[in-house]
Amino acid sequence: MTPDEGRAPGGEGAVVTRGLTKRYGRVTAVDSLDLDVRAGDRYGFLGPNGSGKTTTVRMLLGLVYATSGDIEVLGRSMPRHAGRVLPEVGALVEGPGAYPHLSARANLRLLDAAGPPVAGGPLADGVGSRGSRRRRIEAALEQVGLADVGRRPVRAYSLGMRQRLGLAAALLRGPRLLVLDEPTNGLDPRGIAEIRDLLLDLNARGTTVFLSSHLLAEVEAFCTRVGVLDRGRLVAQDDLDTLRGPTGRTRVRVDDVAAGARALGLPPRDTERPGPFAGEGDLVLDGTSVADATERLVRAGVRVLEAVPERRTLEESVLELTT
């Protein structure tokens, strides 16, 4: 087989599915899914518990066979060409697995010995020498913040440390694609920020990241494109900025709320029924542009601290799509 045999014609997507379906008896877990994850994406895969996210991830990696439909990962058909695809994919699915009596370094040595790294990947260094293997393991542990505790047995690790070890395993061979299922589970806010920065750096160096998570704030802070799954069906797939589209309202922050309300013709503030008041010092107006609101306030001598078109949050969009 030539190196390009089995590669989809013109296939440049990192993950592409067509009509992907998985049934368990009479239950349809995933229903006619058409994913489009482009090379270089930071793709957030969202949905309520039980919506089919983990089943989808397992099918992408060849861990579960699809009932019907097609899967292409890095331009090759899965699971038919899993042997060529998976060495270029790093994955963390349903929590990390490790030998608890062994150290983090020993676990990574066993994993690395199972197959050669992908030459040219972000962490790849050589193809199999003992020295290159040691460097890969140390680089992976350093990047996830475990270098100082790499000799401890994994049974002594906290949940967050085990999660970091699972991510180190996913990074070990310098993958072109990272498939991560709840990668920040068990991490504190600082740990979440560190992992986010690591993934941003890897993405900037060419790694595509497919991130399945229920933490909408983290997806909103990290991802560029989003797919939303509900009861097995893909109900939205678009750029994050498009999903967080404008609401048609203008949000204005002023130094004097009462004076601002008078200038804009709004009713007095009612603490029990806030109406157009979004928060302390904020006014929200329907059908009024930023320019018009600002002009009226300035003419009335009200100091404008901020005036922006209001946009939906990712949480609002997802709740609307999955309700």
In the three-class reduction of DSSP (H, G, I as helix; E, B as strand; rest coil), residue 248 is classed as: strand
Where does the pLDDT of residue 183 fall: very low under 50, low under 70, confident under 90, or very high at 90 and above? confident
At 9-48, the pLDDT tens digits run 334 689 999 999 999 999 999 999 999 999 999 999 998 8
User: Is the pLDDT score of 114 beyond 80?
Assistant: no
The identity of residue 266, as a single letter, is L
**Domain interval for residue 218:** 13-242
Q: Which two tokens stand for residue 51?
A: 């919506």
- Does residue 3 sit within a domain? no
Place of tokens 């994993």: 111
- Does residue 265 share a domain with residue 227? no
Average pLDDT, the chain: 84
> Averaged over 301-314, what is the pLDDT?
86
Residue 1 confidence (pLDDT): 43
Where does the pLDDT of residue 4 fall: very low under 50, low under 70, confident under 90, or very high at 90 and above? very low
- Does residue 59 share a domain with residue 99? yes
Secondary structure of 162-191 as H, E, C letters: HHHHHHHHHHCCCCCEEEEECCCCCCCHHH
Reading phi first (left if > 0) and then psi (alpha if -120 to 50, else beta), residue 294 is in: alpha
- Does residue 137 share a domain with residue 263? no
- Does residue 2 sit within a domain? no
Nearest residue to 310 via CA among 228, 251, 231, 262: 251
- Does residue 261 share a domain with residue 228? no
User: Is the pLDDT score of 84 beyond 60?
Assistant: yes
Which residues are paired to 77 by β-bridges?
72
Domain boundary among 207, 242, 277: 242
At 189-219, the pLDDT tens digits run 888 888 888 899 889 989 999 999 888 888 9
Domain boundary among 221, 242, 263: 242
Pairwise CA distance, residues 84 & 302, whole Å: 65
What domain count does the chain have? Answer: 2
- Does residue 151 sit within a domain? yes
- Does residue 192 share a domain with residue 43? yes
User: Is the pLDDT score of 256 beyond 90?
Assistant: no
Question: Which of 7-11, 71-75, 126-130, 283-287 comes out lowest in average pLDDT?
Answer: 7-11
At 85-111, the pLDDT tens digits run 998 999 988 777 888 899 999 989 888
Question: Which of 180-184, 194-198, 274-278 comes out lowest in average pLDDT?
Answer: 274-278
Instruction: Indicate which CATH number applies to the domain containing 270.
Output: 3.30.70
- Does residue 89 share a domain with residue 166? yes
Instruction: Tell me the percentage of the chain whose pLDDT exceeds 90.
Output: 34
- Does residue 314 sit within a domain? yes
The identity of residue 144, as a single letter, is V
Q: Which two tokens stand for residue 181?
A: 């299922």
- Does residue 317 share a domain with residue 221? no
Instruction: Indicate which CATH number applies to the domain containing 185.
Output: 3.40.50.300
- Does residue 147 share a domain with residue 260? no
Domain boundary among 242, 272, 291: 242
Residue 204 confidence (pLDDT): 93
- Does residue 172 share a domain with residue 74? yes
- Does residue 5 sit within a domain? no
- Does residue 6 sit within a domain? no
Q: Which two tokens stand for residue 80?
A: 């038919």
- Does residue 250 share a domain with residue 192? no
- Does residue 68 share a domain with residue 173? yes
Contact (Cβ atoms closer than 8 angstroms) between residue 281 and residue 256 = no
Residue 233 confidence (pLDDT): 94
- Does residue 174 share a domain with residue 236? yes
> Averaged over 234-256, what is the pLDDT?
87
- Does residue 106 sit within a domain? yes
- Does residue 188 sit within a domain? yes
